[in-house]
């Protein structure tokens, strides 16, 4: 069934199809409509789910964590200030290996106050231990949320997952979205209960841990996160077999075969960059695109492999790690260092909802080409569109 849905509606339908049992959320712009849609599903009786009407994002994360620990499939939504506010609970959720899934409708962090999109909110949580998936359109939002439950709940992973899409650009823009049949999703995503808080099997959870054990817990947590990177590819394939849509694993390439200058980005900018690459190709340029679907764990090995033939890499970052540059630019340099001498051009753009169009990306492409021709070493990072 094909419907015209905005990103928030797609996320709500994904939660319904995934048979989410507990929703704990606090309204925040522009994510609140997901919560409204799910409470509507509950009221209509099309979704069997308990909604915990918490008083804050901190409590939302705490309630979702509690619910998952007690054996329920749990979901929540947030972004921006709400995500920052729940930060310490994010670390509890990943440290306790609880597969909560959260839709993050990316929005800039204050100050100055902004309601508009960028990736700064979620990049700020890059060390939280959550799996972070980015979506380029509303169909991918729906599909990725369903896949996120299977990924996070996998026994080899057992970690929480953030599924990211941008405020307004995706959350409030309608696109055609194919709705998979419930039976197919049920078969793809069976409910397996693994409560850690169970009166029939009492455990003490999160006891004070000394230096003789803490680091080992962290090692296993990191190893599980790394496994998620590999597993996402398998899960995407399995999902493709069921629905006909395979978004690829952690990273996918577009027109990379003989590409000399490769644009690398994530989120809604991927769609824009794909059109820009087509336009550049039509003009005789050897342009390519690398779509980062999985930001955490960062797919460094796949990126190395796929960027081997490139003469230049262009990181397009809708975030700024102050004083250090864009998160993608930094990750790409770290991944490529020692394997290739290819220059990484790092651009900061689109912050706080500033528009980025096809013409901006082609302009950046030409700037990079000029830089290459001049043989100049690229700057650590540069701002575009001020």
- Give the DSSP per-residue string, 251-302: EEEES-TT-SEEEEE-TTHHHHHHHHHHHHHHTT--EEEEEE-EEES--HHH
CA distance 304 to 81: 34
Residue closer to other proteins by CB (options 22, 261) is 22
| Spatial CA neighbour of 161 closest among 217, 105, 96, 93 | 93
Nearer to other proteins, 47 or 179 (CB): 47
Q: Is 262:310 a contact under the CB 8 Å cutoff?
A: yes
CB of 194 to other proteins, least distance (A): 12
Shortest distance, CB of residue 270 to other proteins, whole angstroms? 34
Per CB under 8 A, residues contacting other proteins are: 21-22, 24, 48-50, 52-56, 58-60, 62-72, 74, 88-89, 92, 193, 195-199, 202-210, 212-213
Tell me the closest approach of the beta carbon of residue 133 to other proteins, in angstroms. Answer: 23
CB of 57 to other proteins, least distance (A): 10
Q: How far is the CB of 118 from other proteins (least distance, A)?
A: 28
Give which of 94, 237, 219 is closest to 158, Cα–Cα: 94
Per DSSP, the three-state class of 116 is coil
What residues does 314 pair with on adjacent strands?
Answer: 263, 345
Closest distance to other proteins from the beta carbon of 197 (Å): 4
Residue 123 and residue 83 in contact, taking contact as beta carbons nearer than 8 Å: no
Q: Which CB atom, from 75 or from 239, has the smaller least distance to other proteins?
A: 75
Least distance CB 11 / other proteins (angstroms): 20
Look at residues 103, 147, 134 and name the one whose alpha carbon lies nearest to residue 246.
147
Residue placing its CB nearer to other proteins in the complex, 197 or 242: 197
User: Is the CB of 67 or the CB of 361 nearer to other proteins?
Assistant: 67
Count of CB atoms within 10 A of residue 276's CB? 25
State in Å, rounded, how far the first CA of the chain is from the last one. Answer: 43
Please say which residue, 69 or 177, places its beta carbon nearer to other proteins. 69
Q: What are phi and psi of 373, to 5 degrees?
A: -65, -35
58/255 with CB nearer other proteins: 58
Task: HSE, CB side, 13 Å, CA atoms: give it for residue 263.
Answer: 33
């Amino acid at each position: 069934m094909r419907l015209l849905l905005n990103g928030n509606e797609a996320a709500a339908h994904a939660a319904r199809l995934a048979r989410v049992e507990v929703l704990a959320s606090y309204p925040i712009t522009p994510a609140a409509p997901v919560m409204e849609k799910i409470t509507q599903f509950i009221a209509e009786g099309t979704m069997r789910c308990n909604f915990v009407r918490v008083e804050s994002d901190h409590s939302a994360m705490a309630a979702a964590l509690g619910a998952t620990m007690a054996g329920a499939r749990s979901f929540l939504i947030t972004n921006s200030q709400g995500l920052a506010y729940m930060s310490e609970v994010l670390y509890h959720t990943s440290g306790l290996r609880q597969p909560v899934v959260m839709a993050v409708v990316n929005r800039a962090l204050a100050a100055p106050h902004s309601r508009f999109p960028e990736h700064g909110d979620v990049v700020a949580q890059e060390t939280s231990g959550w799996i972070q998936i980015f979506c380029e359109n509303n169909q991918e939002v729906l599909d990725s949320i369903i896949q996120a439950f299977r990924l996070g709940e996998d026994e080899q992973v057992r970690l929480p997952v953030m599924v990211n899409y941008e405020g307004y650009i995706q959350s409030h823009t309608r696109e055609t979205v194919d709705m998979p049949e419930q039976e197919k999703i049920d078969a793809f995503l069976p409910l397996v209960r693994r409560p850690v808080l169970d009166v029939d099997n009492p455990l003490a959870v999160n006891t004070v841990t000394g230096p003789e054990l803490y680091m080992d817990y962290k090692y296993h947590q990191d190893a599980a996160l790394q496994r998620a990177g590999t597993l996402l590819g398998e899960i995407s394939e399995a999902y493709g077999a069921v629905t006909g849509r395979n978004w690829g694993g952690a990273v996918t390439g577009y027109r990379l075969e003989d590409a000399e200058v490769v644009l690398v980005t994530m989120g809604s900018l991927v769609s824009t960059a794909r059109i820009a690459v087509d336009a550049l190709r039509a003009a005789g340029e050897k342009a390519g695109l690398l779509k980062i679907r999985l930001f955490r764990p960062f797919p460094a090995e796949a990126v190395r492999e796929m960027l081997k033939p490139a003469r230049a890499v262009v990181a397009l970052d809708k975030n700024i790690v102050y004083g250090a540059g864009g998160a993608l630019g930094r990750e790409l340099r770290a991944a490529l260092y020692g394997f290739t001498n290819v220059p990484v051009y790092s651009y900061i753009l689109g912050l706080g909802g500033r528009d980025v169009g096809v013409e901006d990306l082609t302009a950046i492409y030409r700037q990079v080409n000029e830089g290459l021709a001049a043989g100049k070493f690229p700057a650590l990072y540069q701002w575009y569109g001020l």
